[in-house]
Structure formats: structure tokens, C-alpha cells
Structure 1
Amino acid sequence: MSAANLPSSRLVSLDALRGFDMLWIVGADAFAAAFRQFEPGPVQAFLVRQFDHPAWAGFTFYDLIFPLFLFMMGTAIPFSLDKIIQNGGRADAVKRILRRSLLLYVLGVIYYGGLSSGWDEVRWVGVLQRLAICYLAASMLYLFVRPRGQVIACAALLLGYWALLTFVPVPDIAPGDYSRGQNLANWIDANYLPGKVWYGDYDPEGLLSTLPAVASCLFGVFAGRWLRQAPPQYTPANRALVLALGGVALIAIGGLWAFQFPIVKRIWTSSYALVAGGGSAILLGLFYYLIDVRGWKKWAHPFVWIGTNALTIYLLSRFIDFGDLSARLIGGPLSGGLNAILPGLGALAECMLGIALCVAICRFLYRHKVFIRL
């Protein structure tokens, strides 16, 4: 890893959206815990539901967080790789891709405990590991396959995954069953995934479900290429509108497909990839329009601080319990007093303080022009 000055050519909206997403990665569980303490009612039930994953099929706001990060990783690929190719050629780009993917994968293994519990408990798949694999695949496709071929590859990944789960029978189970433990993706994880399997019988970042996750990253590649290489007759505002309309189309297609192939994050069904990709495109279009087109940047500064050091705060949140730290600062009588005013208010205040501590660290790094990246 290295520390470097922030390139002036960065897409500010992409940094802001990355920070917005990372804020929920770090704080969503704490928000959910606080909301559960609120007085029961329709609003409380809605908030609790949106900050938790469905038991199996379905889609909530919490389900958008991980694929949004994959989407943004893909969006950055045309911007970063084109610059590397221009300065050092395709060979340099390949070296950068391989080095970054390997480091990200190794960090992922360390994040989940590394070798601390022995070889049998190493988690070889996980969030950072999936990011590494998807980045590697999407970047290589961007370098060596024409745009039309990339679209075909994306469609093949989604359709091929659907075909595998729909028509390949699982031992003792009829094909076309997508429920937990009754599908090909879960069966492969239970029988062939080495090391620690997160839920025992399957892993949400398992082997086969990585295929449609690569497609999620490719959706971001398409968005990045559109923002970078759209025909000159498309104004920046038009580009944002096309992104949003494309997102609506992806959601519609995914929603229709869900009648046959349910939306399930835990096995990353193709319908889920489409719906999440659509939501990601809409958010990118909105952030791009507000920040880069209209120039409204002040409101997004905290998100930019986080987004330019997203990996740093993600790793810190693993080794520093910001929730425990905030509880030590305002917990006990103060938090109890707030809860007496409104049930859950104390827990929400602790959650907000934990988020504020993360923002403060990122602001410090940003102000001192320290950007730690792979």
C-alpha cells in the first residue's frame, strides 16, 4: 500500500458515493440495533426491516450495500486503467491489476482471522476476497475484450448461473429449488469450499455465487465507460439521466425475472444482481448530477473524506470497536437519560457518535493529504 496525493482528475461523486456506502457498511448494524429499541410501530418496523437482510428471498436497503461497492469498484476501472495504459502500456495495467487483487485477497483472509485458528478455520472467501476476484475478472475483461464482448460476458454470467441453479440437479433434490441448502450453490459450498464455511452449510460469498457477482462489477464498468466515453452530444446532465433510466430498466428486468428466479442475496441470484445493479446506477446518476454536474459539493464532504480512505476505515472498524468506544464516552447515565426521553434515543446517539469518530479519522487523513490505497 502507498500514501499519495489525491489525483485532481478523480470523479468526486464516485468518492462521495463510496463514502456514503462505507458509512452504512460500518454503521448499519448499530443503526438496526438502535431502531429495535424504538417504540414498536409501522415506522420502527420499516426501519428495522430495511437495516437487516431478509431471512432468504427478498430485497432491503441493507442488501444494496455490498453490490453497490462492487458496482463502484467497476465504475473506477475505466478511469484508472485508461490512465495507466496511457502512461505505461497494457503490461503495466496487468501488473497493477494482479498486485491489487492479490493484496486485497490477502487482506481479506487476514480480516477474518488469517491463520490464527488453524488451516481448517481460514475463511478463503469473504467480502474483500470477493472484491479481489471480481476486480480481477472485470479488469481483465476491460483490458482484453471489446465492449460488446463484455456485455456478452455479463449476460452469459447471469444466464449461465441461472441455468446452473435451475437445471443442474442437487443430489437428492430436484433441480429448480432455490431455497436454503436445496440449491447447487449451497451444495458446492457445503461439499467443496475449503476452510471455514460462514454459516456451516453455505457461505454468502461462496464459490459459484461469485459468477453473478462479477456481473455486478461489470455493471459498474459499463457505467464508468459511459461517464468517461459518452458521445459529445450527451451533456453531463444527460449522462446522469441515462444512468438513472438504465438503473430503472435493470430493476424492472430483475423484478420480472424474480417471479421465476427469486431475489436472494445469500446466493447472489441473477435477479438480485440486476435489481442491485439498477439501484446502484440510480444512486451514481444522482450523486453525479448533484456533485459533478450542479457543483453542489459541500453537503458531500464527509462522504468524500470516507470514500477516499474507504479501505482504511473498513479495516479499522474490524480492529477498533467504535460502538464500544462511543458507549464508553456517552453510555451509562447519559445514554440511559436519553432512552428515558425516547426509547432507543440513547442507542442511536451512541451509534451516531461511533459514525462521527470514523468521519473524524477520515477527515484528519484527508486534510493531511494521506490516502492509503492498494
Structure 2
Amino acid sequence: MNDGNSQNEISEPLISMEEIKSDSTPQHRLISVESDAVLSKPVKSKRVASLDIFRGLTVALMILVDDAGGEWPMIGHAPWYGCNLADFVMPFFLFIVGMAIALALKRIPNQLMAIEKVTLRTLKLLFWGLLLQGGYSHAPDKLTYGVDMRKIRLCGILQRIALAYLVVALVEVLSRKTQSSDQPFNHFSIFKSYFWNWLVGACILIVYSALLYGTYIPDWQFTVTDSDSVHYGRNFTVACGVRGSLDPPCNAVGYIDRKVLGIRHMYAHPAWRRSEACTENSPYAGPFRNNAPSWCFAPFEPEGILSSISAILSSIIGVHFGHVLIHFQDHSARLKQWVTMGFTLLILGLVLHFTHAIPLNKQLYTFSYVCVTSGAAALVFSVFYALVDIWGLRYLFLPLEWIGMNAMLVYVMAAAGIFAGFINGWYYEDPHNTLIYWIKKHLFIGVWHSKKVGILLYVIFAEILFWGLLSGILHRFGLYWKL
């Protein structure tokens, strides 16, 4: 945790990156960053409140879908095709990281310094990703820690963010000389000024599509390594022999992960286990069908290699929105840019999905999914910008803003379950008889006489609101956890 004056502190993404400052004049709160020459000396800046609020909302959504999604499957991850509330969380993070990159790197004129900072932050993200999702931490359900290195999970949320951050930030830094900050920007010239970003994005889309549709998927075998499974230790064969399939057993995303990462290092409880093919309880989790296909028992990595390459596109779109914030001086001009692109992406993605050209799929991170989620992120951020930075309704979203200012802390302690794991370590007689269990049972489920409603309200008030208020206290004392 760092301490300092938050009103003058440069802000950082989930993970944290510096953002541009607010103008002191109430009529026009956000101003553009000037040329690198002007910024040769460090300049203290205020945070962009609407971006903090959007970041806080995304962290809050992650807590909500993780802890209440089991009782409310419509907000949890879609088993395969489609897009539920939980499926917006990752792309929202990546979009925010992209925006923060655009705003931050304008403030570091020295290219070598910028590259060093980008590299160091990437390594920190990878470290925390492996520690939190690699299997070392068993919180909040188990009071143990440690991981079998033969089965450590190599991919995860922070690892994906690290990859997107590294690629987009390096493109932003290395293409700086080709960027023009002097010209009067309009709807089209801003794309031209940052053409390297879009060129890299086009290359990523081409490579991803070529591998997704062009890779031949042979039959494959696996051994069930989940010790809780009734099939533990059994060997299965999955028949494929196809090319271009997007279905669970025979897609290129899973094939590449099995070949590169190794099947032991992939996520053991994929969302497809809640599909109709695997369980009669779909979309809820439940016992496998007696005639469930063999792939239902297999691992699958939702943050795998090929899908993470496609995920970089979400940050590239986010960095464009940061460029608009930098170069356009008028609220109306910014909103026109953002809303136009947001609706364009949203409509394009929905058309691709409903025409069955490219279905929405978070696990594969399909192009239609990129478009729909990035379009949604654009529109949500535009709403926050209008409410907070134009109409001055910032006070309505203070808990979300505080979470957004300490997003890494809340992610680690709440979303990753570290704090709940610590509390669960103090129990009475039975390891399940903990303070958290008592609060859920007696103050929420018991009062509402409904497990579904009780769990939902517990997550909203005892987790999200709690962390919002705690983040507010930390903000009051200028304490932040930054990478």
C-alpha cells in the first residue's frame, strides 16, 4: 500500500496506471494532455473520477457474479455460447486498462523509462496472477495453501491483463514518433494518427481467426485429475478430427492450450460443465448426466493462449477511447465519438451472433464477443462520464469510486477470497461454523427465508458495500495498493 494525497496522485488501473488531470474549472473538468515536450517534468494530476467509478463497478460486478452466481446462474458465466453479466467483467477490465494506458504513457516522455515501467508492471501482474489463481491459495473455502507444481494453473485473469497491457503499452510507446498531437482531430483523423494501434489490432484478428478456423483438431485423450470427481483417475478419449469447430470439445483454443500449457495446467472446472449436454440442472451446476459426453469431465482454460491474444483487442479499443479523452476538448465531441463507436461495435457484434456468422463466446473470446462487450463498455463509461463529469453527480457513486481507487486491494482481498479465507480460519467447533456462515444464515437467508435472495443481499451489502466503505476509509488516509 502506498500513501499520499489522492487528490494529486496519479491513478493506476485495476492494476493501476496514471490518468490525466481534471481542470479546476467546473464547466470543463477534463482537459487534454499536452505534447511530450511540455511534460518533460513530472506533473501531479487528479484522477479521472468517471474512470475510477467504472473500474469500481467492474470490481463490484466481479464480486457479485463470483459469490452470487451459483444461486443466480443468469448472472454467472454462460456455459458456452451467449453472454451473461459475468461475461462482461473481463472485457471491461481490459477496456479500462487500455484507456489508462493512453492517459498514463503521455506523461512519460522518455521512451526507455516508459518501457521499463511497462515491463516491471507486467512482471508484477504475472506474479500476482500465479499466486492468486495458480492454485497456491485455496481461499476462501479451504484453510490450506500450497500447490502441486505439476498441476499449477499457468493462466488466469491477471495473466491475461498482463499480456494485453504489455502489448498495447509497448505499441503505444514505440509508435509515439508517428503520432501527431498538433493536428485538429476529428472523427477520422484520430484513427489515422494512431494507425499503428489499429494495424496491430488487425494483425491480431487475422492471426486469431486463421488459427481458430484453420487449425486441424485431432482426437485427444485426458485423465481426470480432479480428486473430487467420481471419475478421478479414469482415462477418456475425445473424438474430433475436424477443423474450424467452435464447439466445446474440438476447438482450436483448447487444442493450443493442451499442446502448449499441458492439460494438467488448465482450469479444472470450466463453465461448460453447466451446459445441457453435461448436466440436467443446466444452467445451474449439478451432477453429470449418465450419458454425458467425455469432454464434460475435461479441463478447459478460459484465459488460455489463443483467447488471450484475441482479448488484446479489448484493450486496443479502450486505448482509442483514452486518445479521444486526450485530444478532444469538448464534452459533446467526446461523447459523440464514444457513443457512435459504442453502438457501432454493439450492433456489429449482435449481427454477427444472431446471423450465426460468429457466435458470442467468452471462453473462445470470439470477435463478436469483443464487439459486444467493448461496445457495452463504451456506452457504460459514456454514461458515467455524462453523469459525473458533465452533470456533477459524482457523490452518487462514491463507494464505487473508492473501490476503483483501490481496485487491486479489493480484487485480492474480496474477489480472490483472501479476506474471507482469513475470517473462515476462526470457527467454533466445526470448520463450517464461521462468522461469515453465521452472518449469511441469520442476518440474510433467515430474515428473507430464501437462500437465493439472502445470498444476493449478503454479497451486495456485506461484501460490495463493506469494501466500498473500507476503501473510502483508506482513501481518507491516502492509502492505496498500486502495482
The TM-score normalised by the length of structure 1 is 0.88
Paired residue secondary structure (2:360): coil
Partner of 1:40: none
Distance verdict in 2 for CA 1:336–1:282, change over 3 Å: closer
After superposing the two structures, state which structure 1 stretch, 67-76 or 267-276, moved more. 267-276
> Does 2:312 correspond to 1:214?
yes
> How far 1:345 moved relative to its partner?
3.7
* 8 Å CA contact retained: 2:324, 2:337: no
Give, in angstroms, the shift of residue 121 of structure 1: 2.1
Query: Partner of 2:279 in structure 1?
Result: none
The alpha-carbon deviation at position 255 of structure 1 amounts to 2.1
Alignment-derived partner of residue 243 in structure 2: 175
Q: 1:198 aligns with which of 249, 254, 267?
A: 267
Q: Distance in 1 between matches of 2:266 and 2:252?
A: 15
Q: Name which of 126, 145, 149 aligns with 1:105.
A: 126
Partner of 1:189: 257
2:69 aligns with: 32
Shift of 1:343: 6.2
Look at both structures and tell me which one has the larger radius of gyration over its CA atoms: 2
**Residues of 2 paired with 1:77 and 1:109: CA distance?**
23
Distance 1:92 1:188, change over 3 A: same
Structure with greater contact order relative to length (CA < 8 Å, sep ≥ 6): 1
Indicate whether 1:58 and 2:126 are aligned: no
Correspondent of 1:261 among 320, 344, 358: 358
1:242 aligns with 2:337: yes
- Render the CA deviation track for 1:218-241: whole Å, top value 9, x for unaligned: 1110110111112x4xx2133123
Secondary structure of 2:242's counterpart equals coil
The SS at the match of 1:208 is helix
For the residues of structure 2 that align with 1:21 and 1:59, how far apart are their CA atoms?
16
The match for 1:91 is 112
Match of 1:45 in 2: none
Aligned pairs (5 A) from 1:16-165: 16-33=53-70, 36=71, 48-85=72-109, 89-112=110-133, 113-114=135-136, 116-145=146-175, 146=178, 147-165=194-212
Give the gaps of 5 or more residues in structure 1: 37-47
* Cα distance between partner residues in 2 of 1:296 and 1:109: 39
The 2-side partners of 1:123 and 1:23 are apart by 25
Letter of the 2:406 partner, please give it.
Answer: N
Q: Which whole-Å CA distance do the structure 2 matches of 1:52 and 1:248 have between them?
A: 24
2:466 corresponds to 1:350: no
Aligned length: 354
The 2-side partners of 1:117 and 1:330 are apart by: 31
Find the residue that maps to 2:80 and give its secondary structure.
coil
8 Å CA contact retained: 2:111, 2:174: no
Alpha-carbon distance, 1:208 to partner = 1.3
Does the CA-based 8 Å contact 1:251-1:276 persist in structure 2? yes
Could you list the per-position Cα deviations for residues 166-223 of structure 1 after superposition, in whole angstroms to 9, with x for gaps in the alignment? 1222224322210112111111112221462003432001111111111111111011
Between the aligned partners of 1:291 and 1:313, the Cα distance in structure 2 is 23
> Given the two structures, how large is their TM-score scaled by the length of structure 2?
0.69
Shift of 1:54: 1.4
1:239-318 equivalences in 2 (<5 Å): 239-258=334-353, 259-317=356-414, 318=417
| Equivalent residue, structure 2, for 1:43 | none
Give me the whole-angstrom Cα distance separating, in 2, the residues matched to 1:358 and 1:2. Answer: 18
Q: Is the Cα–Cα contact under 8 Å of residues 2 and 479 in structure 2 kept in the other structure?
A: no
Whichever residue aligns with residue 151 of structure 2, its letter is: E
CA positional deviation for 1:242:
2.1
8 Å Cα contact 2:83/2:361 also seen in 1: yes
- Give the distance between the partners of 2:261 and 2:401, measured in 1 at CA: 37
For the 8 Å contact 1:189–1:201, the answer to whether it is kept is: no
| Structure-2 change in CA distance of 1:343 and 1:167 (3 Å) | closer
Aligned-residue offset at 1:326: 6.7
Closer/same/farther in 2, CA of residues 248 and 144 from structure 1, 3 Å limit = same
Retained in 1: the 8 A contact 2:208–2:310?
A: yes
Deviations 1:46-66 (A, max 9, x none): xx3541111111112221111
Q: Percent same amino acid among aligned pairs? A: 26
Letter in 2 for 1:349: L
* Contact 1:169–1:175 (Cα < 8 Å) also in 2: yes
* 8 Å contact from structure 2 (residues 399, 465) kept in 1: no
Offset at residue 328 of structure 1 (A): 4.7
How far does residue 329 in structure 1 lie from its aligned partner after superposition? 5.7
Name the one with the larger helix percent: 1
Report the equivalent of 2:469.
Answer: 360
1:235-263 Cα deviation digits (max 9, x unpaired): 21331232122111011222233322211
**Could you list the runs of 5+ residues in structure 2 that have no partner in the other structure?**
10-44, 137-144, 179-193, 219-239, 269-297, 425-433
Residue deviations 1:306-336, cap 9 Å, x none? 0011011111123112896773563444435
User: Which amino acid counterpart does residue 124 of structure 2 have in structure 1?
Assistant: L
Deviation larger for 9-18 or 325-334: 325-334
Q: In the alignment, what sits opposite 1:319?
A: 418
CA distance 1:255–1:334, change in 2 (3 Å): closer
Correspondence for 2:25: none
Compared CA separation, residues 254 and 156, structure 1 to 2 (3 A): farther
Report if the CA contact (8 A) 2:445-2:451 is conserved.
Answer: no
